[in-house]
Amino acid sequence: MNDENTLWTYQLNPFHLPGMQGRIALGTCGLVVPVTINCYYREAPETYAPDFCKRHSFIVCRLACMLVDAIRGRGVTEMMRRHLSQECIERIEFMWELMQSYECTSQSGIVDDHIKRFPTVPRWMEVSLVSNDRIEYNVNVDVGKSVFHSTLVFRKRASKWVAVHADVG
């Protein structure tokens, strides 16, 4: 998942709450995505270990790219079904159906197919540790010249983290 040169460091923000900086490596091409983790309660370093943050950030980065792919007409994948709540899946499937009937056109009226042609490239990720059972992720994803922001909110249900909100804008 991460090479040995990747560092995850703790820091204190101006309000003396803990946070973390790190990077995750994606794919074989050497793409590195910077991750900033902000904690909004004091016991976060004990609750969220760096290994959990790295592993979960990697999964969420892939999910964010899949969300962008969903609006590009690729539908809901099996990985999305494992990590998203049923309500999120239904909303994404509805959005996917809407996008199938919508053609992306530029101001000149020419069909803008670059959104469907280029790969998704995550650029950065912001993580907010809101409480011991809620995490919010914001991921910047580029597709050609277009920029998308994926937002995912995870809640802990039993012992599993499940996305209860997933959005792309």
**Residue 50 pLDDT grade (very low, low, confident, very high; cuts 50, 70, 90):** confident
Residue 101 has pLDDT above 80, yes or no: no
Neighbours of 46 (CB within 10 A): 9
Helices first, then strands: H and E counts in the chain? 5, 7
What pLDDT is stored for residue 110 in this prediction? 46
Largest Cα–Cα separation, the chain:
55
Question: Do the Cβ atoms of 37 and 127 come closer than 8 Å?
Answer: yes
Predicted TM-score (pTM) of the model is 0.82
Q: Give me the pLDDT at residue 100, please.
A: 67
Give the residue-averaged pLDDT of 125-140.
91
> Confidence band (pLDDT; 50, 70, 90) for 169?
confident
